Structure 1
Amino acid sequence: MASITKRGDKWAYSVSMGMNPITRKQNQITRSGFHNKKEAKKAAQTLEYKLNVEGGKLTTVRNKFSEVVEDWLILYAQEVKPGTLRIRKKALDKVLPIWGNKKITTIEHINYQSLITNLSAAGYSRNYVESIHHSLSLVFKHAKKGNLIFDIPCRDVKFKKEYDSEEDKLENFLERDELSEFLSLAKSSERYDDYIIFLTLALTGLRIGELMALRWEDINLDKKFLRVRHTLYNPNNNENEFRLISPKTKKSKRVIQLADKLQKELISYKKYVESNFKIQSGENFLFFRGDYKPLTNTHARNRLVTLTKKWDYKKKITLHSFRHTFTSLLIEDNFSILDVSNLLGHVDTSITIKVYTHITQPKKIELQNSLSKFADKL
């Protein structure tokens, strides 16, 4: 540890080089003439870092980029959910072939900026590149904390600006009549659970993992509410490897009131299940395979693709579209942002506002009429 002292109106540092085996005295490097304490401290830290690296003190440390990543992931796994860990691993896997064998001390800001620029040039979206950047930032902060590097190279990085049109951003939800049309299509499906799956998504705003994790004990049909307590974790879509874990955030654990229509349909669906299947054992999932294990997210996506192929509809619909649609229709019916945020399980209303800043077509017409009336009074 360097010693920082003031000498007159200037500052100085002394860095120990260790004990001289002959004189039994401390060898020190002292420099002075710094304008302030911060300047002297930074210079001392730079010298200590160079002595550690150039003097060979770090040669036995695991300091290859791949080794640092491996060590960090072990610690990170103790702090986060499996889904979050998987996202970080996937992001870092994109970089390991490039930097894996490099010493982390050789990766500087210019190398980092070049990586980010090249990823954008390769056609990856800004969101994906930022996800990689965030994962790398955690690794480099870990390296800095362990004194493997002096500077974190990922500060002040520049990202490629994207110019997606507003219209492109607004397509991924359904207007009220479009939702009604799709649900009618689902109701005519040959599969008994298509309609109730998509109706539940549309009238609760659940994430698909939250929906697939629902068990009958989570639903109170008499008092008309469901309780979100878990999400289904099954990254490989293997029916034998699923896990029930806590939802995305603490706020995601929530109670959602059931619309009368959904309550009635769930009562009918429960009667159908009880009369056509054996009494379920174990988790007692609402939506299940023939062996009573939960349906996978991929199953729901495939059913959505199958249904939309029968529908002459031009917009791209995803499972998340139903959560988006639920939000849009609540806003159209003048629900407050706070109420919508609570129903969605967002951490705070700023997320709701940021994600759902558009308005539906009826709201646009209503706004236009209001503006016209306002102008007529001028």
Structure 2
Amino acid sequence: MASFQKYETKAGARWMYKYYGPIDPGTGKAKPSTKRGFKTKKEAQLHAAQTETDIHQGTFLTDKESTFEDVYLLWEKTNSPNWKPPTRRAVKSKFKKQLLPHFGKIKMKDITKKYCQEVVIKMAEKIKTVDNMKMYANQIFEFAIENDVIKTNLMKKVKIPKAEEQHYAPEEEERNFWEKHEVKKFLAIAAAECSFRDYVMFHTLIYRGPRKGEMLALGEQDIDYSQKHVALNKTLYWEDGKYYVLTSKTPASRRVLPADKKTLQLWKRLLTMQKKQQLADGRNGPIKFLFTREDGVTPLRLAYLNDLLEALIIKHNLHSVTVHGLRHTHASLQFEAGATIKEVQYILGHSDINMTMNVYTHVTKGVQEKGSNRFEDFMDKDDPITGSNVVVLGGGDIDTEDCE
């Protein structure tokens, strides 16, 4: 049980409390400790109550002995219940591969700003996501401050060095999307060489632009034929041989999109085929997954389409794109068809319009040419030289040579 005491400082009255920490495995006894600096007794009491809870639950961090890994494990235990399985797995992997090898066994109090800077420089030489690693390390330092392990976040002012290539003009990026004529050619190939299920998947990705996980999570109840729309509000995730259907990452990702007549017809035909298989297998109820394996029940693995698309591209010597590039393809064709940035943002489920603008700055040649022609037509209108409403001065021809 903690005891409380008031004391005086130059800044005024403060409160402290004394308590016994966790049992020391070496001595078998609890070590007495003190926490100071509280402005009111109530503030000290609240802090003491949390300290006693942490000691009881085995999550208490001692100021002097806690290592970076100790703080990370408590941080992960505290926050991971709020993460979805993909996030949980990704965070653990990043710490295991990048941060813990550098910081793990070092006591938080012994980590210096110089060492933090050296680690960031080393990571910058090997990985492109060093800013992401700094962000995670920063969270551990802040968490350590919250738990009274350290007083200062030494990672906050560490600088990320620029990669050498950032000093030079970037080379033109390989486009990760198809233009309209390439789409037509590919869909003809897919119709001729793929199963009907696989053809419908490629068609869906190109015509509706969902994320791969969103498409594979689609079921019969997500499609409204009377209203001619489809609901994208969940995503498929595989881990350790098991699949999970998760809610979409952000509210913006949960959206209802209009579905064109051709896509609705393809979905309906595929569902009819599945209903027949369901009846033959003695099953009933709505079709849970539109795209399944041969058993008609289990959804496809996420990598299946990657492998199939790559094989078709190599076989027919097509311009190389990824499965995610088919989503880029949908966006670029939407722009070419006249859609606005805001419309494409909603279709793609981006929470931030800057994401839409950043990812899709390189659109098809058709869009660029149309934009150029629109400007030229606008400028030529009523032009005394090239426009239709030509004004002839003095009855003579205008010599355009001096204008070139």
Give the whole-Å Cα distance in 1 for the aligned partners of 2:83 and 2:192: 42
1:201-212 matched pairs, under 5 angstroms:
201-212=205-216
In structure 2, distance between residues paired with 1:108 and 1:15:
30
Q: Give the conservation status (yes or no) of the 8 Å contact 1:62–1:68.
A: no
Residue equivalent to 2:229: 225
Matches within 5 A, 1:26-175: 63-94=66-97, 95-122=99-126, 124-125=127-128, 128-156=129-157, 157-161=159-163, 162-163=165-166, 165=170, 167-168=172-173, 171-175=175-179
1:160 counterpart SS class: coil
Q: What amino acid does structure 2 have at the position aligned with 1:158?
A: I
RMSD of equivalent CA atoms: 3.1
Q: Distance in 2 between matches of 1:258 and 1:304?
A: 24
- Percent identical among aligned pairs is 27
Is the aligned partner of 1:192 residue 2:193?
no
Q: Who is 2:259 aligned against?
A: 258
Letter aligned with residue 288 of structure 2: N
1:144 to partner: Cα distance: 1.4
2: CA distance between counterparts of 1:165 and 1:247?
34
User: How many residues are aligned here?
Assistant: 330
How far residue 362 of structure 1 moved from its aligned partner, in angstroms, is 0.8
* 2:311 is equivalent to residue 309 of structure 1: no
User: Are the counterparts in 2 of residues 143 and 149 from structure 1 also a CA contact under 8 Å?
Assistant: yes
CA contact (8 A) 1:117 1:160 kept: no
Cα pair 2:208 2:259 within 8 Å, conserved? yes
Q: Distance in 1 between matches of 2:209 and 2:155?
A: 37
Q: Is the 8 A contact 2:221 2:286 kept in 1?
A: no
* Greater C-alpha Rg: 2
The superposition leaves residues 4-41 of structure 1 with CA deviations (integer Å, 9 ceiling, x where unpaired) of 65xxxxxx68889999xxxxxxxxx9xxxxxxxxxxxx
- SS of the equivalent of 1:245 reads strand
Unmatched segments (≥5 aa) in structure 2: 1-5, 19-35, 37-59, 385-404
Give the Å deviation of 1:342: 1.1
Unaligned stretches of 5+ residues in structure 1: 6-11, 20-28, 30-56
Pick closer, same or farther for the CA change 1:202–1:61 going to 2, 3 Å.
farther
Distance apart, 1:281 and its partner CA = 6.2
The amino acid that maps onto 2:91 is R
Counterpart amino acid of 1:179? V
Deviation, 1:364, is 1.4
> Match for 2:304 among 289, 299, 305?
299
Give matches, 1:9-24, under 5 Å.
Answer: none
CA distance in 2, matches of 1:142, 1:197: 44
| Alignment check: 8 A CA contact 2:332 2:363 kept | yes
Give the CA deviation at 1:344.
Answer: 1.1
Paired residues of 2:64 and 2:109 also in contact (CA < 8 A): no
TM-score w.r.t. the length of structure 1 is 0.78
The DSSP-based 3-state class of the residue aligned with 1:131 is: helix
- 8 Å Cα contact 2:220-2:286 kept in structure 1: no
Q: 1:154 to 1:217 in 2, by over 3 A?
A: same
Q: Secondary structure at the match of 1:272?
A: helix
Equivalent position SS for 1:77: helix
Q: Which residue in 1 is equivalent to 2:245?
A: 244
- Aligned partners of 1:2 and 1:132: how far apart in 2? 42
Shift of 1:294: 0.9
Task: Rate the CA distance shift 1:375–1:190 in 2: closer, same or farther, 3 A.
Answer: closer
> Compared with structure 1, are the counterparts of its residues 93 and 283 closer, same or farther at alpha carbon in structure 2 (3 Å cutoff)?
farther
Of 210, 214, 219, which residue of structure 2 is paired with 1:215?
Answer: 219
For 2:369 and 2:17, the matched residues in 1 are separated by 78
CA contact 1:209–1:233 (8 Å) conserved in 2: yes
Q: Which moved more, 1:278-287 or 1:295-304?
A: 278-287
* Structure 1 contact 104–149 (Cα < 8 Å) conserved: yes
Alignment-mate amino acid for residue 167 of structure 1: E
Query: Structure 1: which amino acid aligns with 2:270?
Result: Y
- Quote the Cα distance in structure 1 between the aligned partners of 2:81 and 2:17: 37
Residue 143 of structure 1 aligns with an amino acid whose one-letter code is A
